[in-house]
Structure 1
Amino acid sequence: MKRYASLLLGLAAIGCTHAIVGAAVPVEDDRSVRFPEFFEQAPLQVGDAGQPLLLEGAVLRALTLAADDFLPEGRTGLPCTERQASHVFRVIQREGIIFVRIDEDPAACGQEHPGLDSGARYAISRDGRILRRVLDGMEPYTAPVDAGAFEKAELGVSPSFDPQRPAPLPFLGPSDAGAPDAQTP
């Protein structure tokens, strides 16, 4: 039993390499900082149309800080997905804060899809302090304020669930859900 616990602990540590590796950089974890929506608009891509790009030093420092915190350089023998060059970076500046979104670029490693929870968001002050770091999968999902009319329900209870009339999940066919088919007597 003890050996299995050690094995599970070791596997959990391997799965959390980003959180452990990034721990050397002080992070303030200011929960009052709200991240912008990085995918609301199509980004301008560096190098498009051969046009020069002006990048302020504070933005470069924020990008470097986020990249080095999430995927430190200088480590050897890393798989493709653990390298900075195998990621894409989105930057938004608002109210004196530089927001950086890092996502795995599956095409850089010959894959079609990125790994689950393979990205991170950073809020970095113009003076170079990491105000907040959120690794994908490490923060509970909350519906946006303007998400529309959602029914209120108790925590952990689906508002549309009626225990008197259980129904199969919509993506399952009748026979997949354990209910008899319409043709079965």
Structure 2
Amino acid sequence: MRHSLLLLCAFLGGCASRPPLPLRVPAEEAAWFKFPASLDASEQVVVPATVAAAIQFAMEDFRPRDTKPHRGSDPVEACLYQRQSFDVEATPSVEDIVLVRFSLSPGACIEEGPVMDMGSTYAVDPRRERIVAVQPGTPPAEAASFTFPMELPLQGLIHIDGNTAAAIQLALDHFLPWEAPPSRQPACLDRRDSYDVTAAPGPEGVVLVQLVVDDQRCPPDPSESVEATSGKPLQEVVLYAVDIRTQRLLSIGRRFQRHP
């Protein structure tokens, strides 16, 4: 299977040394959960592969998963260290650049008055796997190569609430660990900009995250599983259920579907 080596690598935890892989909910506690037949179309957010990769690169810089609050931090400061405290907006820009904006989620980290928004805007080139500029924060000499617009372009703009954005990052961090070595599968399957992402709320504080290969980045291999009636390759779907309250992976599954 296309992802079997990647998933085995992630399950065993031997492919990444920093940051550690996301924690799993013990099997006996997760037994109640069953994946639905499909994600709720009315509440799902669909993130194209290049945009999902750009968000992941930006998030790892903005709030690395292994970052901890400093000793003696108060509840508000501790809250500001959490990925789920920040909504995400992302949109394609010029020359394959994707703009990613992190902003404090409404109602997050409030204690005895409003908290200053600690957000940032990133210009990311997911094809070259690099951050081009950050606002604020990029030194003037480096910032000259890119000029941020006054507002994010509306065309293609995607808004993701903080809980859903954090769940997506947990799933992607587990699916493609940052320090994983190249697998024996096609090189495109090791790239973060090869997977379209769909996320939707699930039951009881669960966020469902679905990963599907972008066929334009990785054309299907005719030797893979095929549909009995048409003889065409089936599309593999990897599913994650994330317990957003504890920031742990509840369940991981796979299924196959027809290519669109």
TM bucket (normalised to shorter chain) is 0.3 to 0.5
Question: Which protein has the larger Cα radius of gyration, Structure 1 or Structure 2?
Answer: 1
Q: Tell me which of the two structures has the higher relative contact order, counting C-alpha pairs closer than 8 angstroms and 6 or more residues apart.
A: 2
Tell me the TM-score normalized by structure 2. 0.31
Q: Which has the higher strand share?
A: 2
